[in-house]
Amino acid sequence: MSEMKITILCCHYTNQATAEDFAGIPAKIEVKRYPCSGKIEVADILRALEDDAEGVLVAGCEKSSCHNRSGSQRAEKRTAAAQKILEEIGMEPERVQMAFVPRLETGVLVEATKRLFETLLDLKSKEGTSS
């Protein structure tokens, strides 16, 4: 079975996590950083899935401490818009998740990635039983 791929789209300020931090998650983790999470577009999320990610984590600053004030709130709404499109095309919306992460707290980001990984594993096992 080929390794599952997860793409994290996040702002520069959110984290500086490295491959080592994600070593405990048995998946290929790709991190794409943006100047601000408010710059992450719905199309970026969809393209990540198109590029074979099975799930996408959008990560931005905590709402109260966003470096660019409301960037992460925008990211949250775009995440919801991407989830709606997934529903429209018959994909599980939970493949895309939003995480609010305290600045530079890698642990919280890794935890959120782990949760997404578990959700994806769950979806995979359901796929297996339904087909």
Partner 1 sequence: MIIAERKPISRILAMIEPYERVAVLGCRGCVAICSAGGDREVEIVSAALRLARKRAGRPLTVVEETLVRQCDPEYLTGLEELAKKVDAVVSLACGVGVNFIADRFPELRIYPGVDTSFYGANPALGEWEEKCRGCGDCILDFTGGLCPIARCAKNLLNGPCGGSQDGKCEIRPEVPCVWHQIYERLKARGELERMMKLFPAKDWRPAGHDGPRVRTREDLKVGN
Binding site for partner 1 (CB under 8 A): 41-43, 46-47, 49-50, 85, 88-91
CB of 85 or CB of 121, closer to partner 1:
85
CB of 83 to partner 1, least distance (A): 12
SS3 per residue for the chain: CCCCEEEEEEECCCCCCCHHHHCCCCCEEEEEEECCHHHCCHHHHHHHHHCCCCEEEEEEECHHHCCCCCHHHHHHHHHHHHHHHHHHCCCCHHHEEEEEECCCCHHHHHHHHHHHHHHHHHHHHHHHHHC
CB of 65 to partner 1, least distance (A): 23
CB of 20 or CB of 130, closer to partner 1:
130
CB of 52 to partner 1, least distance (A): 9
CB of 54 or CB of 101, closer to partner 1:
54
Structural contact between residues 59 and 11, judged by C-beta atoms closer than 8 angstroms:
yes
CB of 20 to partner 1, least distance (A): 31
CB of 54 or CB of 110, closer to partner 1:
54
